[in-house]
């Protein structure tokens, strides 16, 4: 019960960190005001090519993976807390 809750918090913290990393990479690559919402600027970054495009793709994969793990852990935690009471 506690492990799934901790895992959910860690996964969501990882998702936030990967979102920030993606925004920083997009800002350095010249995405402009779309750096905050960097998943919508991926086309612009891919057109530029090179190292920033690779880093943005890695940040996107990390974000999606963290969200999937976080949602699964949250679901398990919610079910375990419900059965414990």
Helix, strand, coil shares, percent, the chain, to 5? 90, 0, 10
Distance (Å, whole) CA 51 – CA 15: 21
Q: Specify the pLDDT at position 85.
A: 54
pLDDT at 19 over 70: yes
Mean pLDDT of the chain: 86
Across the range 4-31, mean pLDDT stands at 90
Tokens at 69, concatenated? 């793990």
Distances 43 to 62, 63, 64, 66 between C-alpha atoms, Å: 18, 17, 18, 22
Instruction: Give residue 83's pLDDT band: very low, low, confident or very high (50, 70, 90).
Output: low
């Amino acid at each position: 019960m506690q492990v799934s809750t901790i895992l959910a918090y860690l996964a969501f913290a990882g998702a936030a960190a990967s979102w920030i990393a993606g925004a920083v990479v997009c800002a350095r690559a010249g995405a402009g005001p779309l750096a905050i919402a960097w998943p919508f600027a991926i086309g612009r970054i891919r057109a530029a090519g090179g190292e920033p495009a690779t880093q943005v793709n890695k940040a996107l994969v990390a974000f999606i993976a963290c969200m999937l793990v976080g949602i699964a852990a949250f679901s398990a935690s919610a079910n375990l807390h419900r059965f414990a009471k």
